[in-house]
Amino acid sequence: MKNIRVRFAPSPTGPLHIGGVRTALYNYLFAKKNGGTFILRIEDTDQGRYVPGAEEYIIESLKWCGLLPDEGAGFGDGEFAPYRQSERKPLYQQYAQLLIEREQAYYAFDTPEELESRRQAEAASGNHNFKYDSLTRSGMKNSLSLPADEVKRRLEAGEEYVIRLKVPENETIIVNDLIRGEVSFQANELDDKVLLKTDSMPTYHLANIVDDHLMKITHVIRGEEWLPSTGHHVLLYRAFGWEASMPEFAHLPLILKPDGKGKLSKRDGARFGMPVFPLGWNGQTPQERFDGFREFGFLPEAVLNFLAFLGWNPGTEQEIFSLDELAAAFSIEKISKSSARFDFDKAKWYNQQYLHATSGEALAEMVRPLLEQKGYEVSSSYLAAVCDLVKDRITVLPDFINQAYYFFEDVKLYDNPNIAKRWKPESRQTFEALAANFEKAANFDASSLEGILKQFIADHQLKMGEVMPLLRLALAGSMQGPAVFEIITVLGRERSINRLHQAFDYFDSVVK
């Protein structure tokens, strides 16, 4: 296979949608699978929609996810720099003029007011889909309809103009999409797209094709929403004489809302109570402020694993993949044509699997900021031990505080119904004796303490079910949690014994 070069080319118009992350992921995987190059290009030609901070957000998101481009904005210049389209403006003007010279494009002097007037006139006559195309261009103000001296006069006078693509008539444009197979476009249904705007900035269509050609992009892997533009793009490659080196196209399936009703949007996060961005975004209004997967407590590896399966499947039973394993298994042929539903429960399942597989030491570093927010100060070794105990019970990182708070402070809330059901006034003497046996244990570890309990139960003719639930309630306040003796071991001798005595006092108050 030729030297593979792919690009992720987002526009800095706000926070990066999770669908954009999936596009970046598939480009990254394809490049790594084939020993190719993954590029980040910032398509910021639409200055009216530019949002300050959005480019930095895109770069930070890719870094958080571990999808590091080989070259591109924020990641080091290669031989095709610069990678921001706003810095390549003279280049696009040069290529737009080349199309004029080849009679593949033309100047159009129609003002926005004139275009709107024409649209309204067409709508009044029943045509609500007016297009500037091969049928209507002759009746508009452009270098195809005006005399040459008139065009020259307008240009020399500095009149504003746009440059439009001259779409040919009566042609069928055929594209072999790597995911969808053969896709055809009828030229007569395509409008004469604006290539260069009045401010001399290129539109997406011109900049995209020029940059992909000059940067030697071999495969364009992008969202399904760009499929209707592909006919124009093929025409542009032909107009420049670049069709022989035109990249191959692969248009990814849509990501649907959790209920399957329409494309997942930026606003669906608030509606469904879930993240739809990789990182948090602090917009100017409350409606424009979002938490991302990172703030929800997801690991980036889990997010990538989840996203990989939104439209792709390796064809095996394996579901958990490292990024390297995804790259090894990835192929465009295994991407589905069908839209994929955004299943947030599945995303949480992935995160749970990754948290379970994380070492206590590594998890401790992840949750320490959460502890510091609560004012908890503990040693790294103690925190790692707690993490090892509770990691199988958490789905996202913030769950850790709820599941493990009693390792860092006294029990705040007891399960009173279970206490009332199990504790009797006469229980106090028995459990005080058990606590005393624990306190005198030569070795304060789970195995030794369990042996002490079993002997105590045998000596006092008790049942395990009469003792263990109350010990759990005393230590954690709940019937849920890690094994009792593991809790005791981590808490340590002094804290465990003190907590038992405090709990017995509380239990007495419940059953009075």
Cα-based angle 503, 506, 508 (whole degrees, multiple of 5): 110
* Rg, Å, the chain Cα set: 32
User: Is 105 in contact with 92 (CB distance < 8 Å)?
Assistant: no
Please check whether residue 438 is in contact with residue 494, taking contact to mean a CB–CB distance below 8 angstroms.
no
Q: Is 262 in contact with 125 (CB distance < 8 Å)?
A: no
User: Which phi-psi region, left, alpha or beta, contains residue 365 (left: φ > 0; alpha: ψ -120 to 50)?
Assistant: alpha
d(CA 148, CA 480): 84
Whether residue 266 lies in the annotated active site: yes
Q: How many CB atoms lie within 10 A of CB 190?
A: 21
In the chain, DSSP finds a helix count (H) and a strand count (E) of 21, 14
For residues 447 and 510, is the Cβ–Cβ distance under 8 A? Answer: no
232: which residues sit within 8 A by CB, 6+ positions away? 165, 167, 190, 193, 205
Q: What angle do CA 255, 260, 265 make, to 5 degrees?
A: 50
Question: Of these residues, 141, 266, 346, 348, which one is catalytic?
Answer: 266
**In whole angstroms, what is the distance from residue 29 CA to residue 334 CA?**
13
Q: Which of 73, 72, 10 is nearest to 277 (CA)?
A: 10
Q: Report cis status (omega within 30 of 0) of the bond before 286.
A: no
219: helix, coil or strand?
Answer: strand
Q: Mind spelling out the 3-state secondary structure of 93-138?
A: HHHHHHHHHCCCEEEECCCHHHHHHHHHHHHHCCCCCCCCCCCCHH
Alpha helices in 405-445 (DSSP H): 416-422, 427-439
Q: Going along 111-240, which residue ranges are E strands?
A: 162-165, 172-177, 181-186, 194-196, 219-223
Q: Which residues are catalytic?
A: 266
